[in-house]
Structure 1
Amino acid sequence: MDKYLWLIPALPLGGFLILALAGKRLSRSSVAIVGAGSICLSALITFVIGGVFLAGMPPNAVYTQTLWTWFEVGAFSAKITLSLDVLSLVFVFVITFIGALIHIYSTAFMEADRDYARFFASMNLFVFSMLVLVLADNLLLMYLGWEGVGLCSYLLIGFWYEQQANGNAARKAFTVTRIGDAAMAIGLFMIFQQAGTLVISDIGASAGAIWQPNSTVVTVTALLLLAGGVGKSAQLPLQTWLPDAMAGPSPVSALIHAATMVTAGVYLVARMHAIFALSETARLVITVIGAATLLLAGLTALTQYDIKRVLAYSTISQIGYMFLALGVGAWTAAIFHFMVHAFFKALLFLAAGAIIESLHHEHNMFKMGGLKDKMPVVFWTFLVGALSLAAVPLISAGFYSKDQILWYSWTANGGSPVLWMVALSGALITAAYTTRMMILTFWGEAHTPVGHLPGRRMTMPLVVLAVFSVFAGFIELPHNFGHFTLFSDLLRPVLPETVMRADIPSEWLFQLLAALATLGGVFLGYHYYYQQPSRVESLRRNAMLAGLHRFWFSGWGFEALYDRVLVKPFIFISKINKSDVTDRLYTGIAAATGEMYKLLSRTQSGSLRWYIMGLVVGAILILGIQIML
């Protein structure tokens, strides 16, 4: 089946080319068939290849397919080679399957948009770029996909570019992530200098022989790679672009948060674990970034009014959990939470999009309310996603994936009680803002009348994602729940097994405390926003709490800090430097070109005799020059 591997990314690329070149001449139904159909076919091929791969191959098997040689420089040869192992299969499954559901949803959600073909062309290119990223056999090809998803995020976040704010959000995402991308590019140069290759499998196999554990060079290399992951996955301190990315259409938000852009950093760290395993400093930095991000983003989500911004900060927080797991060495737990998170976060964003569309593009949760009975399908599916996000015990997939991270944050070799407390606090905060979001949106008095209800093309993907948001967690059960470890068993040949500490407390106690934290967060949200909402207003009248609310609402002041320290000084210097020698040189060239144009334009007199004379004189000059030479 490896000879058909190329079809998985080729179909989205083909869809993009058709829509980009001929989209304006196609009917809307044809655009929908090409745009959504290409991703659905890619998902179908993924299921077939994945099924054959898992059924008939040994655990450490790899499908590889070399399509052609990209370029050769001296002894260096860059090939377009695709590689599929269990880790990349998990990501390809999520990208194509969830991407297909989002595309089906989009055929209805974007139906009235005048740039229907441009939207699906950009979405297809987005999926193609992410597939190249995770299927790449070498880091150079991965970097091509890495930059491709950055380009597509710019195109889709600013899709409604007529509004200035949307264009600003797109440029912000592109600029902020470039910081991490530049660092990652330097890291790739360092890897090539040390290892002499960019083939991922070769680097992983010989990492221990190339770098000394905890050496300066391996730590710097790992941190440069981490900077790339931090930028793409919107972790501290490069998290500021993601909330503004909600300017794009809701299907774009679902695709970015669940199946593409922000998951790239998690994949990079997991894929290059052989390098990170050699640097305790790099792993500590990953752990600290993940722990700090999950708390900061969770508290910020508690204060937001826009339903999509709540979900955006929620994604930043959940990716923080994944980084925390990667930092303590719980590699498979991070990937398990990535997969489960993809299901329930895609569900929540698509359901939020249906709500916003039905409420005449209203985003403010305080202007919603009363939707429980008016939009029953959306309500029940959103509730399933919310239960999984809050990690409600036993009945949600999110409980099983987040419970692993909570467990390993203490018991893994790189874990500690402090990290467990941070993760547990994040679980309480997550449950609180999720409950707040549910109550404000679906209960209470209706503040905005419902326009039209979503059709089947929008509700069907919600139902499918809701099913996975419940049952996906059962493929990996905790140690004391029967220890059914299908997911980690599949990944173990690719990712190292988590090293556990000897002094491990009872797992039942951990789960009881995690359940209490979740239920405590649910109670807080229920008490303050359903039972006694007036108490929230009284708390806001407290000067200190009001100031804290504003601080959290602003994203802990990162926007203002960067604006003051980076943006305004750069603009100031640019204004001073706008008429420097280089600018004057180009201005002079432009002015000279204009004068030459004016001079030549005088030869256009309209007299046929002058034109003939010019031809004759020119011919004589050319013949004379040739005779002289």
Structure 2
Amino acid sequence: MDTSLTLLLLLAPFLGFLFNVFFGKSIGKSASGIIGTLTVALSFAVSVYFFLQINQTHQAIQIQLFDWIQISNFKVDFGFLLDQLSILWLLFVTGIGALIHMYSISYMHDDENMHKYFAYLNLFIFFMITLVIGSNLLVLFIGWEGVGLCSYLLIGFWHKNQEFNDAAKKAFIMNRIGDLGLLIGIFIIGSLFSTLDYATLKTAINGATDLNMYWISAAAFALFIGACGKSAQIPLYTWLPDAMAGPTPVSALIHAATMVTAGIFMITRLNFVFDLAPDVQNIIAIVGAVTSLVAATIALVQTDIKKVLAYSTVSQLGLMFLALGLGAYEVAVFHVITHAFFKACLFLGSGSVIHALHGEQDMRKMGGLKKVMIITFITFLISSLAISGIPPFSGFFSKDEILMVAFEHNKILWFIASLASLMTAFYMFRLLYLTFFKEFRGTAEQRSHLHESPTLITFPLIVLAILATLGGLISLPTNSWLNEYLSPLFTKAATEEHHFGTTEYALMLIAVIGGLVGIGIAYAKYIKQNQVPAEDAAITGFTKVLYDKYYVDEIYDFLFVKSINGLSKFFRDHVETTLTSLVFGLGQVTNEIGFQGKKIQNGSIGRYLFAFVLGMCAIVTYLFLAQ
């Protein structure tokens, strides 16, 4: 029963992919969208069933389909593991995935390749499920590479625009850099323990007395590099903002709730490995905090509505990595869940705005939309309050826990995270005020067509806004259901419930005041003073540095892209030319030998007999001398 349902959970989206690939164009756009949505909804229903079962029994479900690889004492099975962590991920991957599929039916209705779009979305969900439920690192790696492939296909979906193709290639290549680190980590762990199975690996580590800490630390660091690529941390973060080239629902699916959380999932899954490498954990915490601050500063001045949300995602992922580095895995998971709710809502809300403005993404050309897009505005406001850490919305609870853990372990990291959180409140309400308040700044034609989005777009927004409001209830400060639920996964006991005293309440107050200050500054600038960001040519000073993202892309282009292109050009013009001449020269010699040799074959029987006699004499002479 469990095996059949697990296969249904996994294969339903894959069957949707196959159906849309082969029959989607013939059955029509809406039908292909409905089928794609229903297959993911079916996976969500199975995920809910397993969640109820595991929540009741507290027993993980392990399924071994077949023996996959066996070399000496090294063995890998192709199997699945359904436990507390994988089920939580499945719930928001398939649940939010189904909502985004539903949203896409309306959003992508005018696209001629709508069936192909839903095929790619279904394939992405299939690979994400594979990543989450795999019972070992090798099955995880299949899903890991699969979501990378699908992100390439979806980011470059509108491939007639060369900039979008470049963004897709950038995401694919930068993820390959991280994936090399993941592979190296997998190789090291397989070499050390002769297994890649999570349960066996955990047992082996817990029972070992002579662990090679050097190589375990090396494996943890290599795995962290893999997580940096997939979850967009410094220095491998620049692909994610460019990935906004894809359709907006793709941004919501890949860059809010699923693919970018794969790195957090992997580190949390292997928490028993990272707990043995405190130096690597320190690096993770520092990289997470710095990423959070750097991305937040860039988001302060962006004018593209999706770019603001993209850098916001990078910043929030940095906070999650900060929690991971401090060993607070369940806190990181909590923020993953709440972030999935409010960030998916924000991306889909921005899509609703872009849909109403016929593709316009520049906030300088928006304004006044709350009058005609009331549902989009309310849901966007709720999610903005959530990400800003304002109570009682979900982001307040998850972000507050991260800040408390940071304060307990490292005051400097706490300060950096708090500063990033203040900036988050500012740039999110800057986005809100520029988009929905004051007077409309677009064209007269756009003004005449302003309207609220259809129900298929607004319904997912309402559901996600409700989740963004109530999501914090799963882990209240003094009564955390989530911590208790996840406790069997961790070698160390789950983070102790905070004893709420003066310090804790003061930290909560500081966090809320910081969020309100950020909102207040945005209100003063963009409502009271009615400021609008300057045009690109008028941006100067440090604002220009932030607007151009610290010129990191230009630095990468100079250090890596141009140098590699130069090296390839050298090989093309010199080495390859020489080798080609050599190969053609050898070919010409062979042709000449063949041309001359064929003259012997002229049909003269006497010449053939003469050659035969000479050959026989040579053989007899050789045999005689050999004796």
TM-score scaled by length of structure 1: 0.88
Match of 2:257 in 1: 259
- By how many angstroms is 1:30 displaced? 2.4
Q: Deviations over 1:193-240 (max 9, x none)?
A: 001001011112222455867932111110000000000000001000
C-alpha distance in 1 between matches for 2:195 and 2:369: 57
Match of 1:573 among 567, 573, 582: 567
Taking a change above 3 Å as real, the CA distance of residues 326 and 212 of structure 1, as seen in their structure-2 partners, is farther
Taking a change above 3 Å as real, the CA distance of residues 235 and 504 of structure 1, as seen in their structure-2 partners, is farther
Match of 1:443 in 2: 437
Match of 2:511 in 1: 514
> Match for 2:541: what amino acid?
G
Preserved CA contact (<8 Å) 2:382 2:465: yes
C-alpha distance in 1 between matches for 2:334 and 2:274: 19
Q: Deviations over 1:437-480 (max 9, x none)?
A: 000000011022353531111111110101100001112111xx
Match of 1:491 among 486, 491, 494: 486
Match of 1:531 in 2: 528
- By how many angstroms is 1:77 displaced? 3.6
> Match for 2:563: what amino acid?
P
Question: What is the RMSD of the two structures over their aligned residues, measured on CA atoms?
Answer: 2.5
Match of 2:607 in 1: none
Q: Deviations over 1:463-499 (max 9, x none)?
A: 0101100001112111xxxx12111110011134126
Structure 1 portions without partners, runs of 5+? 594-629
> Match for 1:467: what amino acid?
I
Match of 2:155 in 1: 157
Taking a change above 3 Å as real, the CA distance of residues 587 and 200 of structure 1, as seen in their structure-2 partners, is farther
- By how many angstroms is 1:408 displaced? 0.8
> Match for 2:485: what amino acid?
L
Alignment of 1:185-584 (within 5 A): 185-210=183-208, 215-394=213-392, 396-411=393-408, 415-448=409-442, 449-450=446-447, 451=449, 452-478=451-477, 483-495=478-490, 496=492, 497-498=494-495, 506-534=503-531, 546-580=540-574
Taking a change above 3 Å as real, the CA distance of residues 579 and 528 of structure 1, as seen in their structure-2 partners, is same
Alignment of 1:69-88 (within 5 A): 69-88=67-86
Q: Deviations over 1:572-626 (max 9, x none)?
A: 1111111455567679989999xxxxxxxxxxxxxxxxxxxxxxxxxxxxxxxxx
C-alpha distance in 2 between matches for 1:373 and 1:213: 64
Taking a change above 3 Å as real, the CA distance of residues 46 and 512 of structure 1, as seen in their structure-2 partners, is same
- By how many angstroms is 1:418 displaced? 1.1
TM-score scaled by length of structure 2: 0.88
> Match for 2:64: what amino acid?
T
Match of 1:173 in 2: 171
Taking a change above 3 Å as real, the CA distance of residues 127 and 590 of structure 1, as seen in their structure-2 partners, is farther
Taking a change above 3 Å as real, the CA distance of residues 579 and 98 of structure 1, as seen in their structure-2 partners, is same
- By how many angstroms is 1:535 displaced? 9.7
Taking a change above 3 Å as real, the CA distance of residues 535 and 246 of structure 1, as seen in their structure-2 partners, is closer
- By how many angstroms is 1:507 displaced? 0.9
C-alpha distance in 2 between matches for 1:536 and 1:114: 36
Preserved CA contact (<8 Å) 2:73 2:194: no
Match of 1:596 in 2: none
Taking a change above 3 Å as real, the CA distance of residues 305 and 193 of structure 1, as seen in their structure-2 partners, is same
C-alpha distance in 2 between matches for 1:202 and 1:586: 52
- By how many angstroms is 1:79 displaced? 2.4
- By how many angstroms is 1:427 displaced? 1.2
Task: Tell me the secondary structure at the aligned position of residue 6 of structure 1.
Answer: helix
State the percentage of identical aligned residues: 39
Match of 1:122 among 117, 120, 123: 120
Preserved CA contact (<8 Å) 2:75 2:195: no
Preserved CA contact (<8 Å) 1:219 1:282: yes
Q: Deviations over 1:167-187 (max 9, x none)?
A: 000000001111110011011
C-alpha distance in 2 between matches for 1:420 and 1:312: 23
Taking a change above 3 Å as real, the CA distance of residues 504 and 588 of structure 1, as seen in their structure-2 partners, is farther
C-alpha distance in 2 between matches for 1:304 and 1:487: 35
- By how many angstroms is 1:49 displaced? 1.9
Preserved CA contact (<8 Å) 2:364 2:532: no
Preserved CA contact (<8 Å) 1:235 1:290: yes
Taking a change above 3 Å as real, the CA distance of residues 370 and 505 of structure 1, as seen in their structure-2 partners, is same
Structure 2 portions without partners, runs of 5+? 588-627
Alignment of 1:46-57 (within 5 A): 46-55=47-56, 57=57
Task: Tell me the secondary structure at the aligned position of residue 284 of structure 1.
Answer: helix
Q: Deviations over 1:394-438 (max 9, x none)?
A: 2x1110111111111112xxx111111111111110000011000
C-alpha distance in 1 between matches for 2:19 and 2:435: 40
C-alpha distance in 1 between matches for 2:42 and 2:119: 16
Preserved CA contact (<8 Å) 1:195 1:210: no
Task: Number of aligned residue pairs: give it.
Answer: 580
Preserved CA contact (<8 Å) 1:528 1:536: no
